[in-house]
């Protein structure tokens, strides 16, 4: 007598359920790969090449962080350059007016008013902040670089009928006050009274993995101090009462010389900012190109063939659909239908 091997209904049901589950998981995987274009399980399917892909992704992440920081840095430098350009233009306009108006009397008073207004305007521009940081404070970006302006407009007052010696002594005092002509800026009255930023140097930024760049301009810069000195000398018309016309002319010439030196210095700082901007743009371009290379490498390792994924998806869909149909068909069968 031959023995028949039988499979219980429960076993058959569990086996079919397991097959449907596996097919469903495979279908979901195919759908994800078809949608993303990338393998679902890179480590299982690519072996040691997955480590290369991970390395490429880490490099891309570092590059992306540099890209974000460089974008912020480029914005800072651009705003600094814009503010310096406006300061330079304003001082150049003042120089042209002062040359024609400082001839005495009401002209000197008009120049004094304009100088005072320009001191205030330049101070406001130097106190410009970007992304929550003061731009012209050196490394102390949380502190306003110009903390007082009223002192500058009243800093230089000459006695009536000031002699040449008195006026020269006042010019020497101003040079020392602004630390011009070799003075120690960290011990100057300008730093103690006007400047509120850092005297330790400018800001610096890491623009790529191998390059760190010092950038910016400080309100402590000699060009700024020269401009403030020249405007201070014009901000009070007491020089108009000098003992002699020659002494008065010497005062005006010294003030104009300081302003001209300041304008020249600002132009140099603008050129420096332009060079810094070029370095940042160059680094950003290199990082963009590298990011593209790394991304292409990741796609090469992790990517799936779109046609193959679509074909697999269709096959699995048909297989799963057939399984569901069989299941429904079996569930509808009953011995009672044949009795």
Predicted local confidence at residue 109, as pLDDT: 86
pLDDT-derived band at 169 (thresholds 50, 70, 90) equals very high
CA distance 319 to 97: 89
- Nearest alpha-carbon partner for 89 in 57, 125, 55, 36: 125
What are the sequence ranges of the domains in the chain? 54-294
pLDDT in tens, 112-145: 999 999 999 999 999 999 999 999 999 999 999 9
Mean per-residue pLDDT, 6-29: 57
For residue 111, how many other CB atoms are within 10 A of its CB?
25
CB contact at 8 A, 224 and 111: no
| pLDDT confidence tier of residue 156, bands split at 50, 70 and 90 | confident
DSSP category for residue 129: E
Q: What is the mean pLDDT of residues 318-323?
A: 61
pLDDT at 239: 86
Residue 233 has pLDDT above 90, yes or no: yes
Higher pLDDT among residues 295 and 145, named by residue: 145
Read off the pLDDT of residues 101-112 as tens digits, 9 standing for 90 and up: 655 557 888 899
pLDDT of res. 240:
85
Supply the pLDDT for residue 311: 66
pLDDT tier for residue 46 given thresholds of 50, 70 and 90: low
Which range among 163-172, 210-219, 222-231, 240-249 shows the weakest confidence by mean pLDDT? 240-249
Which residues have C-beta within 8 Å of that of residue 119, sequence separation ≥ 6? 149, 152, 153, 228, 231, 232, 235
pTM attached to this predicted model: 0.77
Query: Please, which residues have CB within 8 angstroms of residue 279's CB and are 6 or more apart in sequence?
Result: 207, 211, 213
Query: Of 41-50, 128-137, 161-170, 262-271, which range is least confident?
Result: 41-50
Q: Is the pLDDT of residue 223 over 70?
A: yes
pLDDT in tens, 182-208: 767 778 899 989 999 999 889 999 999
Choose among 82, 126, 110, 106: nearest CA to 228: 126
Ranked by mean pLDDT, which of 47-51, 98-102, 166-170, 243-247 comes out on top?
166-170
- Band of the pLDDT at 72, cuts 50, 70, 90? very high
Percent of the chain with pLDDT over 70: 71
Residue with the bigger pLDDT between 334 and 289: it is 289
Q: What is d(CA 236, CA 211) in angstroms, rounded to the nearest whole number?
A: 48
Q: Mean pLDDT, to the nearest integer, of 257-284? A: 97
Could you say which of 1.10.8.60, 3.10.310.10, 1.20.1330.10, 2.40.40.20 is the CATH number of the domain covering 54-294?
A: 1.20.1330.10
Task: Tell me which of 18-32, 86-100, 168-182 is least confident.
Answer: 18-32
pLDDT at 55: 82
- pLDDT(152) > 70: yes
Beta strands in 129-206 (DSSP E): 129-130, 133-134, 203-206
pLDDT at 25: 57
Listed range (28-37, 137-146, 237-246) with the worst mean pLDDT: 28-37
Q: Mark residue 201 as left, alpha or beta (left: phi above 0; alpha: psi -120 to 50; beta: remaining).
A: left
Over range 322-326, report the average pLDDT. 62
Spatial contact of 203 and 215, defined as CB atoms under 8 Å apart: yes
% of the chain with per-residue pLDDT over 90? 50
Mean pLDDT, the chain, integer: 82
Beta carbons within 8 Å of 284's beta carbon, 6+ residues apart: 67, 70, 71, 74
DSSP-assigned beta bridge partners for residue 38: 303
């Amino acid at each position: 007598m031959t023995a028949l091997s039988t499979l219980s209904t429960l076993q058959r049901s569990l086996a079919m359920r397991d097959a449907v589950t596996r097919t469903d998981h495979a279908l979901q995987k195919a759908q994800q790969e078809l949608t993303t274009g990338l393998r679902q399980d890179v480590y299982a399917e690519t072996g040691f090449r997955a480590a290369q892909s991970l390395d490429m992704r880490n490099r891309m992440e570092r590059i992306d962080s540099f890209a974000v920081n460089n974008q912020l840095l480029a914005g800072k430098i651009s705003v600094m350059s814009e503010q310096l350009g406006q300061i330079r233009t304003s001082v150049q306009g003042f120089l042209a007016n002062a040359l024609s108006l400082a001839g005495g009397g009401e002209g000197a008073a008009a120049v004094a008013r304009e100088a005072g207004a320009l001191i205030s305007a330049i101070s406001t521009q130097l106190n410009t902040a970007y992304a929550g940081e003061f731009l012209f404070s050196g490394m102390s970006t949380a502190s306003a670089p110009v903390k007082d302006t009223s002192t500058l407009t009243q800093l230089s007052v000459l006695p009536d009928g000031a002699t040449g010696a008195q006026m020269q002594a006042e010019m020497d005092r101003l040079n020392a006050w602004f630390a011009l002509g070799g003075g120690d800026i960290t011990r100057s009255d300008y730093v103690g009274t006007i400047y509120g930023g850092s005297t330790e140097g400018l800001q610096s930024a890491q623009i790529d993995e191998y390059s760190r760049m010092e950038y910016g301009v400080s309100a402590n810069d000699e060009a700024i101090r020269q401009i403030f000195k020249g405007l201070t000398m014009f901000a009070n018309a007491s020089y108009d009462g000098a003992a002699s016309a020659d002494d008065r002319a010497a005062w005006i010439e010294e003030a104009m010389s300081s302003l001209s030196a300041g304008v020249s210095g600002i132009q140099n700082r603008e050129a420096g900012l332009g060079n810094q901007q070029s370095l940042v743009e160059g680094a950003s371009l290199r990082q963009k190109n590298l990011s593209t290379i790394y991304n292409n490498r990741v796609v090469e390792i992790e990517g799936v063939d779109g046609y193959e994924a679509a074909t697999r998806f269709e096959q699995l869909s048909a297989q799963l659909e057939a399984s569901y149909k069989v299941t429904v068909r079996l569930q509808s069968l009953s011995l009672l239908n044949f009795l």
